[in-house]
Structure 1
Amino acid sequence: MKLLNDMALFVEVVKAKGFRHAAEAVGIPNSTVSRRISALEKAIGLRLLHRTTRRIELTEAGQIYFERCKRIVDEAKLAHEQLGELLAQPSGVLRASLPVDFANIYLAPLIAEFARLYPGISFDLDLTPRVVDLVAEPFDVAIRMGHPPSSNLIARQLANLACRLYASPRYLEQFGEPSHPCDLAKHECIGFRSGKANVWLLHKGDEALEITVGGRFQLNSVGLIRRLASLDQGIAVLPAEIVAEDVAHGRLQRILPDWEGPATPVYAMTETRLLPAKTQRFIEFLRERLSGHAFA
């Protein structure tokens, strides 16, 4: 890279017909230009310029070297411009693994917006519940909810989703609304089948409680938990983004508003830090759109 920069400086000196004008053009001191050209001559073992007190002239070797340098520098500039255009409008197939419920309920409109912004990108999206192998399978990125397991993969946190307590108005009318987390023990609580599904960790500021709950439903689908809660089957702890539409239409309402469950982090997982433009833009887009959901 240093050699290419010195070649570009040599071309600038020849075009400007002197060190001073070249220095003004590139914004570095005149003495630095002179020193770098001298170092270039020493490095390649050729005298490139005849220097006088009033002007410079190319030597025969300098003329040949100038023509070659100009071609190389022009090609480098063109490649840089083409790369910039490629990064501005990336293309190709984006292969992504997404959480089923989060993708259907929340990510779908964001993906549609991203598709409108980048018409050159097409999509191959995997929404199966299995955890894909980013090393062995041809996926560019996997979006995951929850803390990622320890691995050699690169995890970029996109958001931390606040989890709150919800129930349907009809359920609350029938069974009453709890006024304190301890009251949850008397209610149907729809548990997420992970770890201790019958123990809910709730916090209010610095105060934290472990509440043992019970209920007929334990499952591993956020979407189905949301649906069952809206069908009057009990109380659920869910990310606010997942239930926003149900709350807006009155199918669910927040209860115990001072209390929250543990926040759910959202990560973009990749095999490497060196990402193609399509993947980089997708991750940046999701991070920007989810930026209002504060990190822990």
Structure 2
Amino acid sequence: MQLLNYMQLYVEVAKTKNFRKAAESLGMSSSTLSRNIAALEKDIGVRLLHRSTRRVELTEAGQAYFNRCQGIVEEANVAHEALRGDAARPSGTLRISMPVDLGINYLAPLLAEFAVAYPLIDFELEAASRRVDLLADPFDLAIRMGPAPTAPSTLVARRIALLERQLYAAPAYLDRAPPLEHPDDLIHHALCAAPGIGQDGWTLFNGAASRTVPVKARFLMNSVGLSRALAAEGAGIAILDSVIAREELAAGRLLRVLPQWRLAPVAVHAITDTRLLSARTRLFVDFLKARLAPRNSPG
């Protein structure tokens, strides 16, 4: 049991390459963690880590040991949870990273519902635009919009939803803007979009028909909420999904434009650094997929 405990501590340090972060994730002091790793190295007679004041690096032996230990620790945790009955009454802390707008508009009500269903689970949530490093940061999963990541190869992406995307603008903007009756007319309009969207133009779909328009966004931003706010203020046309736009639409501050046309849906993925998930993580991913997919898949 002591050896398995050493392995678990070492895997956390090797993943984060940072004693402080690893200690926080494990709920222990950095000094205690350091002593345990030193005891492990003494026990096996091999240096596993190069330590400095700024960073921790794995030795060649340390990398080989990590590769073997990671799977053992994950299997042991899954087996331990199953024996304790955690699949029926999961507990512990679920650490999740998510985009700000997705968290506020989609995930907040679902988190509240999930918390009621599983009262023994606590949550540590980070809502930010940065893409966390699941191999280094102590998160159980990250919720991300867009294509599944291709690197590093150890990441596992599970698609949990497809969000439809349509075009919206304020009545005041449409009153003063050029006519907008066909996607080709978009070249004459001010557009709001995220960096990377439609670098070669916007492609819109109307049933089986499609049209790519060589447009350039006037406003580039990394926030869907900001794009919605700018559109509601009459700055231009924004790409939004119906849930993000619903309040402004109901209040009359936004109107859907080119209603027969839409952009390709954007995928939402739950990303983990392993296929072996704890009971609480697996339940949450399944819960999100069940709640999000039927409600937001484009029809």
1:294 counterpart residue number: 297
SS in 2 for 1:88: coil
Shift of 1:215: 4.7
Unaligned segments of structure 2, at least 5 residues: 1-78
Deviation per residue, 1:36-66 (Å, 9 max, x gap) = xxxxxxxxxxxxxxxxxxxxxxxxxxxxxxx
Quote the Cα distance in structure 2 between the aligned partners of 1:271 and 1:209.
38
Identity of aligned residues (%): 46
Shift of 1:219: 1.5
248 and 83 in structure 1: CA distance in 2 versus 1, 3 angstrom threshold: farther
Deviation per residue, 1:146-185 (Å, 9 max, x gap) = 0022132111100111111111122222325511111111
1:95 counterpart residue number: 95
Shift of 1:106: 2.1
- Corresponding residue to 1:255 among 238, 251, 257: 257
* Matched-pair contact (CA < 8 Å) for 1:230–1:251: yes
Shift of 1:194: 1.1
* Matched-pair contact (CA < 8 Å) for 2:105–2:244: yes
1:24 counterpart residue number: none
What pairs up with 1:2-41 in 2 under 5 angstroms?
A: none
What's the TM-score once normalised by structure 2's chain length? 0.67
- Corresponding residue to 1:243 among 242, 245, 248: 245
Quote the Cα distance in structure 1 between the aligned partners of 2:134 and 2:216.
37
* Matched-pair contact (CA < 8 Å) for 1:167–1:232: yes
Unaligned segments of structure 1, at least 5 residues: 1-78
243 and 83 in structure 1: CA distance in 2 versus 1, 3 angstrom threshold: farther
Quote the Cα distance in structure 1 between the aligned partners of 2:240 and 2:288.
20
Quote the Cα distance in structure 2 between the aligned partners of 1:243 and 1:255.
12
176 and 109 in structure 1: CA distance in 2 versus 1, 3 angstrom threshold: farther
2:105 counterpart residue number: 105
* Matched-pair contact (CA < 8 Å) for 1:168–1:252: yes
Shift of 1:249: 2.3
* Matched-pair contact (CA < 8 Å) for 1:190–1:234: yes
What's the TM-score once normalised by structure 1's chain length? 0.68
- Corresponding residue to 1:211 among 210, 213, 227: 213
Quote the Cα distance in structure 2 between the aligned partners of 1:86 and 1:273.
18
What pairs up with 1:54-203 in 2 under 5 angstroms?
A: 83=83, 85-151=85-151, 152-175=154-177, 178-194=180-196, 196-197=198-199, 199-203=201-205
* Matched-pair contact (CA < 8 Å) for 1:239–1:264: no
1:267 counterpart residue number: 269
Deviation per residue, 1:15-41 (Å, 9 max, x gap) = xxxxxxxxxxxxxxxxxxxxxxxxxxx
SS in 1 for 2:108: helix
* Higher alpha-carbon Rg: 1
Residue identity matched to 1:105: N
Shift of 1:213: 2.4
Shift of 1:124: 0.6
Quote the Cα distance in structure 2 between the aligned partners of 1:260 and 1:224.
20
- Corresponding residue to 2:278 among 276, 279, 291: 276
Quote the Cα distance in structure 2 between the aligned partners of 1:289 and 1:263.
17
Quote the Cα distance in structure 2 between the aligned partners of 1:266 and 1:136.
22
Deviation per residue, 1:185-241 (Å, 9 max, x gap) = 111111221154472111112221111224531112111111111111111112222
Deviation per residue, 1:109-161 (Å, 9 max, x gap) = 11111112111111111122211111122110110100022132111100111
Aligned residues: CA RMSD: 2.4
SS in 2 for 1:136: coil
- Aligned residue pairs, count: 218
Deviation per residue, 1:37-96 (Å, 9 max, x gap) = xxxxxxxxxxxxxxxxxxxxxxxxxxxxxxxxxxxxxxxxxx999848421221111001
Residue identity matched to 1:134: L
